Copies of this chain bind each other. A is one copy, B any other.
Amino acid sequence: MALAEEKSMIKVSVMYPNTPGARFDHDYYRDKHMPMCKEKFGSACKRYSIDRGLAGGAPNTPATYVAMCHFFFDSVPAFQTAFAPNAKAIMDDIPRYTDLSPVIQISEVVAD
Contacts and interface: CB of A to CB of B under 8 A. Distances in A.
A54 B104 contact: no
Q: How many copies does the complex hold?
A: 2
A112 to B, nearest CB: 4
Nearest to A15: B64
A18 B38 CA distance: 29
Interface string A36-58: 00000000000111111111111
A51 B1 contact: no
A56 B108 CA distance: 12
Mostly, the A contact residues are strand
A30 B63 contact: no
A105 interface: yes
A34 B48 CA distance: 23
Interface string A56-71: 1110000111001000
Contacts of A107: 51-54, 63, 65, 68
Interface of A: 1, 3, 10-15, 26, 30, 34, 47-58, 63-65, 68, 76, 102-112
